[in-house]
Amino acid sequence: MSKTGTPVTDVPATTPDGKPVTIFDTTLRDGEQAPGISLDVGEKLEIAEQLARLRVDVIEAGFPITSQGDFDGVKAIADTVGTHRYADGGAAPVIAALARCHPDDIRKAADALKGADASRIHVFLSTSEIHRNVMLKGASEDQIIEQSVEAVKQALSYTDNVEFSPQDATRTNPDFLLRIVDAVVEAGATTVNIPDTVGYALPHDFGTLIGDIVRRVGDDAAISVHCHNDLGLAVANSVEAVRNGARQVEVAVNGLGERAGNCSMEEVVMALNTRRDLINKSLNVNTKEIARTSRMVAQLTGYPIQFNKAVVGRNAFAHESGIHQHGVIQDRLTYEIMNAEDLGYTGAQIVLGKHSGRHAFAQALEEMGYTLEKEEIGRAFDRFKELADRKSDISDADLEAILADELYSAAEDAYELVWTQVSGGTTTAPTATVRVKHMDDGREVTEAAVGDGMIDAVCGAIRRACGVEGRLVTYNVAAVTPGVDALGDVTCQVEVDGRRYTGRGVSTDVVEASARAFVNGLNKAFRLAGNPKAETGAP
Q: Cite the annotated binding site for Mn(2+) by residue number.
A: 30, 226, 228, 262
Three-state DSSP at 283 gives coil
Please give the backbone phi and psi of residue 507, each rounded to the nearest 5 degrees, phi first. Answer: -170, 160
The letter for the amino acid at 105 is D
* Neighbouring residues of 269: CB distance < 8 A, sequence distance ≥ 6: 23, 251, 283, 285, 287, 290
Provide the sign of the torsion angle of the four alpha carbons 438, 441, 443, 446, taken in this order.
Answer: negative
Question: Which parts are annotated binding residues?
Answer: 30, 226, 228, 262
With residue 296 as reference, give the H or E element that holds it.
helix 290-301
The three state secondary structure string of 444-492 is EEEEEEECCCHHHHHHHHHHHHHCCCCEEEEEEEEECCCCCCCCEEEEE
> How far is C-alpha 74 from the geometric centre of its chain's CA atoms?
14
Cα 210 from Cα 207, distance rounded (Å): 5
What SS3 state is found at 111?
Answer: helix
Among candidate residues 491, 481, 499, the one with its CA nearest the CA of residue 518:
491
Q: What is the spatial order of strands in the sheet that 431-438 belongs to?
A: 415-423, 431-438, 444-450
Q: 355, 360, 367: which is closest to 292 by C-alpha?
A: 367
Q: Of 172, 162, 171, 179, nearest to 216 (Cα)?
A: 179
Q: Give the 3-state secondary structure of residue 50.
A: helix
